[in-house]
Structure 1
Amino acid sequence: MTASRKPVPKPTPETQPFWDGTARGELRVQRCRGCKRHYFYPRPACPHCGSGDVAWVTTGGRATLVSYVINHRPAPGFEDDGPYAIALVELEEGVRMMTNIVGVEITPENLPLDMELRVVFEQRGDMAVPLFQPAGAAR
């Protein structure tokens, strides 16, 4: 088996808890203890109220498709995946994140907006990257 040429994430102190979760098959986001709102991307203070009293929580891993683009000119390392969908999804917890859609042929007909999705993880080196597939797709 050949090693993936896809880029491997490099955790920072702010993102390490996120990547620790993906290694365990968990999708984590931060939640403010003050205003009780979830947020993503990782940062030390709540973007809604400014509180530094935040915690990492595990999400349910379910999302809906908000928007996407079908990329036919793959970036380096993704040549074997084209065409592929670069997507914006909204988690049940109310936060949005960029990701890729997998587990379905990448055509507009197969990617209706508001489609229900669930998280899956792709191993890249020693890191696990969260991707999303249709909720009813076999794993």
Structure 2
Amino acid sequence: MADRVIPAPIPDPTTKPFWDAAREGRLMLGRCRDTGRHFFPPRGVSPFTLSTEVDLVEASGRGTVYSFSVMRLAQPYAPAMVELEEGPRIFTNIVDCDLAAIRIGMKVRLEWRPTEGDGPPVPMFAPA
């Protein structure tokens, strides 16, 4: 992924707090005040209760590979679903490792990748 140009996300009013935190190197999750459960992507309504009683909280940046695939194009890469330590899953890429070494259950850590122009960085994960 290092040589790929990553398109910059276009924040909207709902996603702006997430991308502002990304610029500071912080991965944010939603947290339902009613259940205490975390969710991703963060938004103004809990997916568990449909309540607007939600908070934006920082994630640890640690997780486990839940599922993945290896795309064998001119420049191979590994899209994956990572289950965060806090519970929710995030669709991302696994970076900085031999793609043949990726396994379900592998521990990973957050890595931010720059995007084109002045866009905010995007979260990806590398072996822990």
Q: Is the 8 A contact 2:80 2:92 kept in 1?
A: yes
* Cα shift at 1:43: 2.3
RMSD: 1.5
- Residues 55-99 of structure 1 deviation map (CA, whole Å, 9 limit, x = unaligned): 1000110000000111123xxxxx6xx210000000000000100
Alignment of structure 1 residues 1-139 onto 2, 5 Å: 5-73=5-73, 82-107=75-100, 110-124=101-115, 125-126=117-118, 127-135=120-128
Aligned-partner residue type, residue 100 of structure 1: N
C-alpha distance in structure 2 between counterparts of 1:132 and 1:5, whole Å: 17
Q: Which amino acid aligns with 1:92?
A: E
- The TM-score with structure 1 as length reference comes to 0.84
| TM superposition score normalised by structure 2 | 0.91
Structure 1 stretches lacking a partner, 5+ long:
74-78
Give how far 1:105 is off. Answer: 1.5
State the identity as a percent.
41
Render the CA deviation track for 1:14-37: whole Å, top value 9, x for unaligned: 111111111111111110111111
TM-superposed CA distance for 1:5, in Å, is 3.3
Paired residue for 1:76? none
Uncovered stretches (5+) of structure 2, i.e. residues with no partner: none
